[in-house]
Amino acid sequence: MNAESLDGRLLFAIPKKGRLYDKCISLLAGADIQFRRSNRLDVCVVLNHPIALVFLPASDIPSFVGKGDVDLGITGHDVILESRMDGLVTEVLRLGFGKCALQVQVPETGSVKTVDDLAGKRVVSSFKHLSADYFDAVDARLQLSQENKTKIEYVGGSVEAACALGLADGIVDLVESGDTMRAAGLHPIATVLETEAILIKSNPPKHPHLVPLIELITSRIAGVIAAGKYVICQYNISRDKLAAATVITPGRKAPTISPLEEDNWVGVSAMVEKNNSATIMDELVKAGAEDILIFALNNCRV
């Protein structure tokens, strides 16, 4: 595939592997972005839209969107800040997956117990800029001299081994489940930032004629995310108890309320968070609601 075959197409960068890849593929399927990716090819043409998917390392995507010709991308919030691309890209949607924390970690059995104890010592991270920003603020608060400032060193992989192998007194690394951290004998003493997957676009748009397509894809992805987060709660209730019930189910904007044939009764339909649906049903029963039903969402537009 050459550059000419991509002319006029929206370029959409997707992580080629790692913790975000599978979720991104599922998201594209939910948004009806159809494609066939050949083995070993990192660019493929979408079959039902003028889009080309570009599979890149997540750490490179902000630069390709911010400085290159790529229009949309999915990457981590942490990667955007670390690459210093937050001024050249716009964070369009938080996608609700890939959540983890960038944390300062030290050996559990060591003498370092707080960030202040670690200041002035050696810190290793693959997030050198974010680590430097964080410890520059700590060093300034503690009024450390230039000679005594915290030393930040970059390591691209196996960051969690740096303390055990004598390279660092502490590290800054992403923590998802915490299993790797605990296996290395480390524990967190501070959180630099919370992060998750983000849909980003170039700022300003590089191809104005593609703005309607960007808005369409953004709307579809937002619908897929909402469908995974919300369910429809439907119930009947008497009008004199309606006010209390709508406090329980306010919906994303407002509940849909329809009159029933029986006097003084209405039917209510509202989007509620899936994770809280059981509790919400219990509260509706206490409020006097009847015939309470929950419906899963396959897709939606919000």
| Whether residue 19 is found in the same domain as residue 161 | no
Residue 136 has pLDDT above 80, yes or no: yes
Residue 206 has pLDDT above 90, yes or no: no
| Whether residue 182 is found in the same domain as residue 142 | yes
| Whether residue 202 is found in the same domain as residue 90 | yes
Report yes or no on 31 lying in a domain.
Answer: yes
Q: Which domain holds residue 32?
A: 3-97+197-206
Report yes or no on 223 lying in a domain.
Answer: no
The domain that holds 113 is classified in CATH as 3.40.190.10
Report yes or no on 81 lying in a domain.
Answer: yes
Ramachandran angles phi, psi of 261, nearest 5°: -65, -35
Split into its structural domains, the chain has a count of 3
Domain end residue (candidates: 142, 175, 195): 195
Report yes or no on 257 lying in a domain.
Answer: yes
| Whether residue 79 is found in the same domain as residue 202 | yes
Distance of CA 188 to the CA centre of its chain: 21
d(CA 98, CA 19): 7
The domain that holds 280 is classified in CATH as 3.30.70.120
pLDDT of residue 191: 97
pLDDT of residue 40: 74
Domain end residue (candidates: 171, 206, 241): 206
| Whether residue 111 is found in the same domain as residue 191 | yes
The residue-averaged pLDDT of 135-151 equals 95
157 vs 7: which has the higher pLDDT: 157
Residue 20 has pLDDT above 90, yes or no: no
- Strand 72-76 relative to strand 10-15: parallel, antiparallel, unpaired? parallel
| Whether residue 21 is found in the same domain as residue 166 | no
d(CA 159, CA 229): 34
pLDDT of residue 257: 96
pTM: 0.85
Listed residue (52, 69, 47) closest to 14, CA to CA: 52
| Whether residue 146 is found in the same domain as residue 61 | no
Report yes or no on 165 lying in a domain.
Answer: yes
Residue 47 has pLDDT above 60, yes or no: yes
| Whether residue 72 is found in the same domain as residue 202 | yes
| Whether residue 191 is found in the same domain as residue 201 | no
| Whether residue 91 is found in the same domain as residue 154 | no
Report yes or no on 221 lying in a domain.
Answer: no
Listed residue (194, 199, 177) closest to 27, CA to CA: 199
Residue 290 has pLDDT above 70, yes or no: yes
Report yes or no on 38 lying in a domain.
Answer: yes
Residue 2 has pLDDT above 70, yes or no: no
Q: First CA to last CA across the chain, in angstroms?
A: 36
Tokens of 6: 């991509």
The string of pLDDT tens digits covering residues 96-131 is 999 999 999 999 998 999 999 999 999 999 999 999
| Whether residue 105 is found in the same domain as residue 80 | no
Portion of the chain with pLDDT greater than 70, in percent:
98
Residue 5 has pLDDT above 70, yes or no: no
Ramachandran angles phi, psi of 248, nearest 5°: -75, -35
| Whether residue 114 is found in the same domain as residue 93 | no
* CA dist 107 → 122, 128, 182 (Å): 13, 20, 9
Question: Any idea how long the chain is?
Answer: 302
Report yes or no on 213 lying in a domain.
Answer: no
